[in-house]
Amino acid sequence: MQQQGVRLDVLERLLNPIKTRDFFQTAWDREPLYVGRNDPSWFNEFFRISDLDALTALAGHPGTVVRFLTLKQNRNNLPGATPSEIRQAYLNGMTLVINNAGNIWPPLGRLCRGLEEAFAATVKANFYLTPPNSAAFPAHWDAYTVFAIQLYGAKTWKLGGPRHEMPLETQKFTPPVVIPEEAPCHTLRAGDTLYVPRGYTHEVWTGREPSVHVTIGIHPPLWVDVAHEMINQAALRLPALRRAVLADALAAEAVPDDAALAKLISEIAGLDLAAPALRAVIERRRKERREPVDHLLADLVRERSLGPDTPLRRREGMEAALDAADEKIVFRFLLGEIKFPARARAALTFVDEGEVFTPADLPELDEASALRLAEILLKAGYLGFVGDI
């Protein structure tokens, strides 16, 4: 499914049977949404309980943070954790947290990249292994949006109201938070999803069952980010924005009054900078994303098997921007940029749609040119083979 040129398959996976259109109209940035499924296998493509030892063995690798937590004890920023340490912590009632687990576990990395694409956001997946009758945190709120997906066992979420309305990430949580006894509770079981908007208070615990779940933090661009970018771009055109504040403040008669500031803001609005500012903010978010970890090297080794009928697909999170420059097309994506002849525009637009294709499907190119373009994008890490390795 496509919406405004963005792939939503991963988001649909989290929300099904709720339609993405309904989610954005009724829940997004407004209120929590619980999706119960009674289908323990729903998220098996991202994690199975048989994967637990393999995933936790990677804890502490670069790009992740390992923590052992209870309500009374907090061991943060550990350099790593051996299997025996994890086992003993679990027996002691501690929750194992692996922050940024998508950096070490390719299926969760694909999930993050799909959501980065859907929201034009920075996305981080934190993995939680919690023993029975345990809690890792007291009641709190987060300054970012959360999707919780239950992978194994069960965990209960008690949801209070919004403590802060859409807080900025600089507005950090400060305890204590008290959630009323009558606040709604949802017990997530394997295959369930819970959406919690930023600023909503919540308290989470296990009962008789252990729990494995992932919280997916969504950090989308905000309109305040666009406004900041508009001002930065406007400063290149308006000398008044480049005046030194200190000099103005020292000369009382030069301090602008509200009317002068309103005039300056009106001038900024008249420069039609909203669209380019939004593009700049989204492009910055794109550059902040981590590289994908799935099959990059394996696909490179397999490159010689590429033929006209080889199924290919753009990797998740690799959507590109195409710009014209000196009769060339500049193809910018997560891992870099490549210049192509202008006649390749239709083919490049085609591959960036993200659907499965073969080199023979590429429009407006002969077979040799199509194979060459596919080879270049495969070696660059933008494209990947479809099917088992």
- Summarize pLDDT for 308-320 with one digit per residue, the tens: 999 999 887 677 8
- pLDDT for 366 beyond 70: yes
- pLDDT for 2 beyond 70: no
Which helix (DSSP H) or strand (DSSP E) does residue 121 occupy? none
> Mean per-residue pLDDT for 141-170?
92
Q: How many CB atoms lie within 10 A of CB 184?
A: 12
Dist. CA 63–CA 77, nearest whole Å: 12
Could you report the per-residue pLDDT of 193-205, keeping only the tens digit for each? Answer: 999 999 999 999 9
Q: Which of 314, 347, 297 is nearest to 114 (CA)?
A: 314
- Residue 61 is given by DSSP the state S
- pTM metric for this prediction: 0.78
> Which residue ranges form the domains of the chain, and what is each CATH number?
2-219 (2.60.120.650), 223-287 (no CATH), 296-385 (3.90.930.40)
The band of 339, judged by pLDDT with boundaries at 50, 70 and 90, is: very high
Q: Which residues contact 135 (CB under 8 A, 6 or more apart)?
A: 70, 71, 95, 203, 204, 205, 206
Residue 323: the pLDDT is 84
Dist. CA 31–CA 34, nearest whole Å: 10
Residue 246: the pLDDT is 66
Residue 333: the pLDDT is 85
Average pLDDT, the chain: 87
Q: Residue 7: beta bridge partners?
A: 2
Find which of 153-157, 236-240, 294-298, 377-381 is predicted with most confidence, using mean pLDDT.
153-157
The band of 251, judged by pLDDT with boundaries at 50, 70 and 90, is: low
Which region among 27-41, 68-82, 106-120, 225-239 has the lowest average model confidence (pLDDT)? 68-82
The band of 1, judged by pLDDT with boundaries at 50, 70 and 90, is: very low
Residue 301: the pLDDT is 81
The region, left, alpha or beta by phi > 0 then psi within -120 to 50, assigned to residue 317 is left
Residue 80: the pLDDT is 66
Q: Are 120 and 220 in contact (CB under 8 A)?
A: yes
Q: Which of 237, 236, 240 is nearest to 264 (CA)?
A: 240
Q: Residue 314: beta bridge partners?
A: 383
Q: Are 86 and 53 in contact (CB under 8 A)?
A: no
The band of 291, judged by pLDDT with boundaries at 50, 70 and 90, is: low
